[in-house]
Amino acid sequence: MATWNLDPDVTHLNHGSFGAVPVEILDLQSELRVQMESNPVRFMLREYQPALETSRCALATFVGADPDGLVFVPNATYGVNSALRSVEDRLRPGDELVVTSQTYNACRNAVTVTAARSDCSVVVADVPFPLASPTDVVEAILGVISQRTALVLLDHVSSPTAVINPIEEIIDALDPTVIVMVDGAHAPGMIDVDLGSLGVDFYTANCHKWICSPKGAAFLWVAESYRDSAVAASVSHGYNDGWPGSGSRFHAQFDWTGTDDPTARLCVARSLAVIEKHRPGGWAEVRSTNHELVLAGRELLAAALSIDMPAPDNMIGSIAAVPVPPEPEPSESIFDPLMAALHEKWSIEVPVFAWPKSPQRLLRISAQQYNQLSDYHRLTEALIAELALG
């Protein structure tokens, strides 16, 4: 069973933001750093690329992708930016780029910049929350698709509302000429991901969340028809085939974008193996136990808050969001007062944020293998006290 360096005096219910790394993986990363610093030239020029290929192949197998189409990036935001840069020359003035009201802010900003550079417009599909079924998401997105739609950016798992979106159904309904990008930041390790059957053009996701690798490891997968023209957001040696270690020009765009600490991405294969061994049933059991635990936690919160479930169980993975009473008065702090109180008075790390706009707000819980039901009982106790729900 994996062990963690998490502070035992804190109740950690926000794995979804930054993840957490098992001790065994931290030890591996330290070993790799010592190896790198003992002879940086040898490590970077002779040992880095073979180690990268090991991680690439393991990760590709895990997400049902061909290794030829998978590259490492620092995070999913970088992946979205790279995907957008790769298709800018295919966009025409007047085209529409579709996002949703739940698109992650950083990625929505990237789409906005691409639209401005390409003389396109951004169209926002208003996806409701709470919602009754996946159909609500499908109808909201397909309702804004027009003949001018050139690109759609979908969240596999919405960051603010924590719902698993029915992206397969949406993709199947779109015209094949529409470029489809998926921000899967939360998906791998939380839900089963099979890129080979998804029919998407670009898919990016983080490894530091549910795969539990060190921060700085994420991937971008690109469909074969886009690989010859794909470029990294940071243009480097691979642009003119100046990085000979990579197996293809596409890989060369991303495998070396400048000197950095590559150890996070070199730990991904071991991270997959460590978490898989955490449960007798491997990754399937890890996903199912996290799912069951977060649903149990959500039930406790809903009962304390006297609210209906804001989304069906089958749209929840390992994170769940619930509405909490509106903020009583505006605050200038970047931290919601309830979130701050839970941190300072109760030693509970859990996000509370304005949604869809202040003073309305959501609280989002996570479930990972280090959590137990008592964590959510403690959160419920704290909420009853802080919100005077008794």
What is the per-residue pLDDT across 8-53, written as a single tens digit (0 to 9) for each? 999 999 999 999 999 999 999 999 999 999 999 999 999 999 999 9
Residues linked to residue 188 through DSSP beta bridges, in sequence order: 191
Averaged over 317-327, what is the pLDDT? Answer: 96
In this predicted structure, what is the pLDDT of residue 24?
96
In this predicted structure, what is the pLDDT of residue 94?
98
pLDDT band at 246 (very low <50, low <70, confident <90, very high): confident
In this predicted structure, what is the pLDDT of residue 332?
66
In this predicted structure, what is the pLDDT of residue 245?
80
In this predicted structure, what is the pLDDT of residue 1?
55
Whether the predicted pLDDT of 358 surpasses 90: no
Sorted by where each starts, the structural domains of the chain and their CATH numbers stand as 23-274 (3.40.640.10), 279-386 (3.90.1150.10)
Whether the predicted pLDDT of 331 surpasses 80: no
**What does the block give as tokens for 317?**
């993975």
Averaged over 105-126, what is the pLDDT? Answer: 98
Whether the predicted pLDDT of 106 surpasses 90: yes
> Rounded to whole angstroms, how far apart are CA atoms 369 and 289?
8
In this predicted structure, what is the pLDDT of residue 2?
64
In this predicted structure, what is the pLDDT of residue 291?
98
Q: Is the pTM of this model over 0.95?
A: yes
Averaged over 342-348, what is the pLDDT? Answer: 97
